[in-house]
Amino acid sequence: MTTGPLTIIHPVTDLARAKEVYGALLGVEPDMDEPYYVGYPVAGHHLGLDPNGHAKGLTGPVAFWHVDDIDATVKAMVEAGATEKEAVHEVGPGRRIATVTDPDGSVIGLLQDDVN
């Protein structure tokens, strides 16, 4: 089951400059501010800035769909014709992500968040 794309991650090359730009847009301080990731709460959603995103093959913003079982979702999507891009891995306690591409090469992000 999915609750929809609640997280959008933007690959950035200059995290400090991007933080200023998105901070001005959103008018809020980040709720996570680390050298490897900056994240903002936005109206029930999460906007992330990833300075390593381009190295991971992200060419633009990626919507991350929140799912209950990321392993099963990746498996079902690959069986349906998607290609695994970034394997399931932990990005924080109780939080795992993965990316797949659809048959046209569009990146789909998946996130399982057991942090409550």
Domain ranges of the chain: 2-113
pLDDT tens-place string over residues 29-39: 999 999 999 99
Q: Which CATH class is domain 2-113?
A: alpha beta
Determine the Cα–Cα distance for residues 32 and 40; give it in Å rounded to an integer: 7
CB 30 within 8 A of CB 38: yes
Question: What kind and span of H or E run contains 79?
Answer: helix 70-79
CB 95 within 8 A of CB 48: no
Residue-level pLDDT at 115: 57
Determine the Cα–Cα distance for residues 30 and 22; give it in Å rounded to an integer: 10
pLDDT tens-place string over residues 38-79: 999 998 999 999 999 999 888 899 999 999 999 999 999 999
Of all residues in the chain, the percent with pLDDT exceeding 70 is: 98
CA angle 104, 3, 11 (to 5 degrees): 50
Determine the Cα–Cα distance for residues 63 and 10; give it in Å rounded to an integer: 9
